[in-house]
Amino acid sequence: MGIRICGKISPGAIAGGGKHESFFHRLGKRLFAGFADELREEIRQVLQRETQELERSVEAWTWERYQRTEKLVENWTWERYQQTEKLLKDTIDRRLQKLMPLPSLRTLDVHIAEHCNLNCQCCDNFSPIAEEQYTDYDSLARDFARLRELSHGQVGTIYLDGGEPLLHPRIADFVSLTREHFEESDIYVVTNGILLAQMPEAFWEKCASNHAGVLITKYPIHLDMETIEAKAAEHGVVWRFYDESADYKEKTTTFMPLDMHGGHESYQNFVNCYHANYCIYLWEGRIYTCSVAASIRHFNRFFHEDLPDVPENSISIYEAKDMDEILRFLCRPIPLCEYCDIPGRTFDIPWGISKQEKSEWAHV
């Protein structure tokens, strides 16, 4: 807005004040006052508009951010809830399953040799302190015949292991024996792989003709994998590493301490133990619910201890009247459970060779 005043104004009239102010001076003051008021109003309106626009922008931005944040929180909360719910359900299911008879034997471990050529620290089969001992072929043939009778041949997967099963000079015959009695089962020879490249043709041929696979535990040791893969491919034998999950790199050590004083709550130990009613073993006509119970005799002999190595740790396949009786036995604690310190187990310890020290298996 522009104001132009016409006429001649004397300097004294402009500079004067009070009652001596000229007409034009008073007129100028009123005009200037009106101009200032109008300018202030215009500025106020501009500021009001800008403020309102800024408030709307802030409000819109805040609401949008709030909605996005709320959605992120909602999605994260729901995802975490689902994950937590699944974890709890899996944990509860797993613990309940421990105490419920399985419909059949899903897995069965059979030691072909008790000793080993690698001797890992903390081995749950106690192989580093086991005496040289091979499974008797005729004895296992009788056990397999009885177990087939009880189970009607319904055993999911049979692992021929140890110790190191390839140490047994008749390992190929054991592969054939297993298939003879369990026609529909998956059969695997579980090995550390050290002897695989040197195995005779008969071993590979028996594995191929009996549709038995080879599982190699991935220890941090050198293996002649080129020769092993070539022999397996030549004979059409399926092989793989024992654990091929995405996060598995190589074998580590698990410290599973025994408590020499006992006194632990057997049921709590049983439902929280990953061995119980899962790592099921057949040894000399008896079935065990875990590997520790099946091999505790080696610990007792080597360290002159007397942990429970009693008939109540296992069930005789010759005394059981049917498979249901065996399956019911496998889902309840045994006397040795009282001596396992399940909460004290330590996982993912770097793998190493055993020094045959008691502290590898027990609190000392």
pLDDT digits (tens, 9 = 90+) for 171-198: 999 999 999 999 999 999 999 999 999 9
Instruction: Give which of 145, 139, 179 is closest to 160, Cα–Cα.
Output: 179
Is residue 116 within 8 Å of residue 190, measured between CB atoms?
A: no
- Tens of pLDDT, residue by residue over 46-91, are 777 767 776 666 666 666 666 776 676 666 666 666 676 666 566 6
Side-by-side strand order, sheet with 212-216: 239-241, 212-216, 186-191, 155-162, 105-113, 281-283, 286-288, 314-316
Strand extents, DSSP E, 24-175? 105-113, 155-162
Q: What are the structure tokens assigned to 314, written together?
A: 């296992």
Length of the chain: 364
pLDDT band at 13; cut points 50, 70, 90: very low
Report pTM. Answer: 0.76
Q: Residue holding tokens 């819109």?
A: 60
Out of 3.40.50.12160, 3.30.460.10, 3.40.50.2030, 3.20.20.70, the CATH code matching 104-360 is 3.20.20.70
Instruction: Give which of 255, 273, 266, 228 is closest to 349, Cα–Cα.
Output: 255
For the chain, domain boundaries: 104-360
- Tens of pLDDT, residue by residue over 125-184, are 999 999 999 999 999 999 999 999 999 999 999 999 999 999 999 999 999 999 999 999
